[in-house]
Amino acid sequence: MKNIDRRHWLKTVGLTGSFALLGGLESMALDFPLRTNSADSMVLLNANENPYGPSERVRKILTKSFDEACRYPFRSLSGLVEMIALKEGVTKDHVVVTGGSTEGLKAAGLVYGLGGGEIISADPTFQAMLRYAETFKAKVHRVPINEAMGHDLPAMAEKINKNTRLIFICNPNNPTGTLLNKSSLLDFCKSYEKDAVIFSDEAYYDFITEPEYPSMVELVKEGKNIIVSKTFSKVYGLAGLRVGYLIAKPEIALNLKSAVMANTNILAIEAAKEALRDNEFYKFSVMQNFKAKSLIYQHLDDLGLDYVKSHTNFVFFKTGRQIQTVINEMKKHNVLIGRPFPPLNNWARISTGRLEDMETFGQALKQVMS
Residues 188-205 have pLDDT tens digits of 999 999 999 999 999 999
In the chain, CATH 3.40.640.10 covers 56-277
Looking at residue 2, its pLDDT comes to 63
Q: Please tell us whether the domain made up of 56-277 is placed in CATH 1.10.540.10.
A: no
Q: pLDDT tens digits, residue range 253-279?
A: 999 999 999 889 999 999 999 999 999
Q: What is the mean pLDDT of residues 11-36?
A: 52
For the chain, percent of residues with pLDDT exceeding 90: 86
pTM over 0.85: yes
Q: What is the mean pLDDT of residues 147-162?
A: 98
Peptide bond just before 33 cis, omega within 30 deg: no
Rounded to whole angstroms, the Cα distance separating 209 from 179 reads 11
Q: What is the mean pLDDT of residues 161-173?
A: 98
User: What does 318-367 look like in DSSP terms, one character per residue?
Assistant: E-SS-HHHHHHHHHHTTEEEPPP-TT-TTEEEEE---HHHHHHHHHHHHH
In the chain, CATH 3.90.1150.10 covers 3-53+279-369
How far apart, in Å, are the Cα atoms of 232 and each of 56, 367, 369? 15, 35, 35
To which CATH superfamily is domain 3-53+279-369 assigned? Answer: Aspartate Aminotransferase, domain 1 (3.90.1150.10)
Q: How far is CA 263 from the centre of its chain?
A: 20
Looking at residue 244, its pLDDT comes to 97
Looking at residue 13, its pLDDT comes to 66
Rounded to whole angstroms, the Cα distance separating 157 from 176 reads 21
